[in-house]
A and B are shown apart, each in its own frame.
Chain A
């Protein structure tokens, strides 16, 4: 056999990619080196993590008796704020629209949301930037946020609100303040927020007039005094030390607690924040319920869960784990056309893929809410782009989406033998992964084993 010469040129181009320095990491380092700025973007965490998809229902068979899926009634009515408020909020479905500001969203997007929520018998929530007249008018039940920035915050709107949500933080950036880049600080947005037009707004992350839970107790009483103890007060925070935070919020006098898991979205924040802070929503729900149980507050203080709730199954699982309701932000934007290839302008449905490409993304990978150049006109303050969303068509689609979610929710509840969605319980669930079993504290499917709690 002839002796082979040592090869100096490889047979083919190497495909051996580094795990640690893969193309995403390389891109990150190259961009950081080139621009000297960290990445800012919208939407929520994109990394893989345990989610509600890792749980499944043990629906009825011989040991449990199901309800007739298409005939027997399954109650979805949800009441929030029964602890101290004279007028708790009553919703037809336990699915709410999460807080998103006029500023982050166009006025037309806010209008579409208000119209859909009103038709559905559910609530909408203002955001960092105050309440618009259009939003109040189009929303039957409107929750008014009290944020660290206090942009546009005033007693007249406070008295018009159906509930007040004191925002400590959000899942996309627990511990961080809001951000709205100059492209979206239009004349109207600037006026509402008392800021110079076109500046890069980086909101405070701490409230200006209180710092700890003891001050918050007094602050909540101030808000109650101003509103005559009429409306419920929610406290919202991003999911980090959930158990302690829930206990402090209950102690501070919250009627309702809103917990936003790390999948929760934003219109703009640092990418490092979105991907590396907070805990997944399924872990957060369980910790929150534990805290309420330990304080004997289940059913007295209501729990709203948000962050990565997308489907009827997600809603059902969150409720089975102990939430009273869920709030959805990103899914709402997507129902309005976010990441779709055509504009929902009520007429031509023009393909806008080229506008995604101009942002360096395509339909399906866009997270450029912060640029204000939303190709489908949802997260923009540009008048021309905003026309790409027709409020009536948007409202119709959002209504469809929430109807699907509530029908799916009721389907699963009936199959679990429950005539009221709020009767679902953790015992109706098992986990497909060890991680999800440990976080949601339900047994791994086919076993009685809950990591950390034992069983076989």
Chain B
């Protein structure tokens, strides 16, 4: 790839891929097959493109230098991807491990169905943040939109701002912490008292996200588990 420029930065080689000169296909191909563990890659001029840095499986750092589109860092494994801007839908969807950090805001379905790893949105996330999550940890510096953590199965969603309507609808074993106002809870979600393990979990995740807030100011929301078994007594809840 002729358009690659290499420079030295803190003894780590940084490879710069310019989206104005390379296609999304070429960038992903490079990230899939031509980087070694420990590498640092910058993607310049992302220009709102979709599907950048998807399906990574390497111990690398990727910096996307601007706003990007849908599915950024989808299905990520091991890599640490930072977007220096805002993103469209479904950032870090189905993330397995590693981390995805959005410096700006994220649109809908952030970290949807994430199985593991960490997703940090420093700004606001939109609706359905953490939908169907299966073990991922999500920290949102701002607020989340409606039906966030819908059918969330496992993992933790930390919301430092407010949460929109129907938070945690049909929750399974995932746990949600909210610092601000909760517009309303969804079916089978309930507020519970904060325990010691909650403090530890919040301290850990806020620390990883680099957000300095007191865990004591958060509310815990978890499943009442009334809908785990199918019967008609709760049909008004559906």
Interface string of B142-158 (1 = CB under 8 A from A): 00000000110110000
Q: Which of B13-21, B86-94, B197-205, B214-222 contacts A (4 or more CB under 8 A)?
A: B86-94
Q: How large is the interface on A (under 10, 10 to 19, 20 to 34, 35 or more residues)?
A: 20 to 34
Mark out the residues of chain B between 85 and 128 whose CB falls within 8 Å of any chain A CB in the assembled complex.
89-90, 93-94, 96, 109, 112-113, 115, 128
Q: How far is the CB of B104 from chain A (nearest CB, A)?
A: 19
Closest to B132 in A: A208
Task: Say whether A196 contacts B71, CB under 8 Å.
Answer: no
A215 to B57, CA, bound (A): 24
Which label, helix, strand, loop or mixed, suits the secondary structure of the A interface?
loop
Residues of B at under 8 Å CB distance from A?
Answer: 24-25, 28-29, 32, 50-51, 54-55, 57, 69-71, 74-75, 77, 89-90, 93-94, 96, 109, 112-113, 115, 128, 131-132, 134-135, 150-151, 153-154, 172-173, 228-232
**Cβ contacts A to B, 19 pairs, < 8 Å:** A150-B94, A153-B94, A153-B113, A154-B96, A154-B115, A155-B55, A181-B230, A194-B154, A196-B172, A199-B229, A200-B229, A209-B90, A210-B89, A218-B70, A222-B50, A222-B74, A225-B25, A226-B74, A228-B32
Q: Ordered nearest first, which 10 A-B pairs have the shortest CB separation?
A: A226-B55, A209-B90, A208-B112, A208-B132, A150-B113, A200-B230, A209-B112, A155-B75, A222-B71, A199-B228
- Do A150 and B132 have beta carbons less than 8 Å apart? yes
Partner of B75, one of A181, A208, A210, A226: A226
Extra 4 A-B pairs, beta carbons < 8 Å, given A37-B231, A199-B228, A215-B89: A154-B96, A222-B70, A222-B71, A222-B75
B153 touches A182 (CB 8 A): no
Q: Across the interface, name the chain B residue whose C-beta is closest to A177.
A: B151
Q: Which residues of B contact A364 (CB under 8 A)?
A: none
A30 on interface, CB distance cutoff 8 Å: no
Counting chain A CB atoms within 10 Å of each CB, the highest count among B29, B74, B94 belongs to: B94
Given known A37-B232, A200-B229, A225-B24, contact A194–B115 (CB-CB < 8 A):
yes
Are A208 and B93 in contact, with the CB atoms below 8 A? yes
A149 CB, min distance to chain B CBs, angstroms: 7
Known: A150-B132, A208-B93. A215 touches B229 (CB 8 A): no
> Distance in Å from the Cβ of A388 to the closest Cβ of chain B?
27
Give the chain B neighbours of A359 by CB distance below 8 A: none
- Which chain A residues (62-111) contact chain B, with CB distance < 8 Å? none
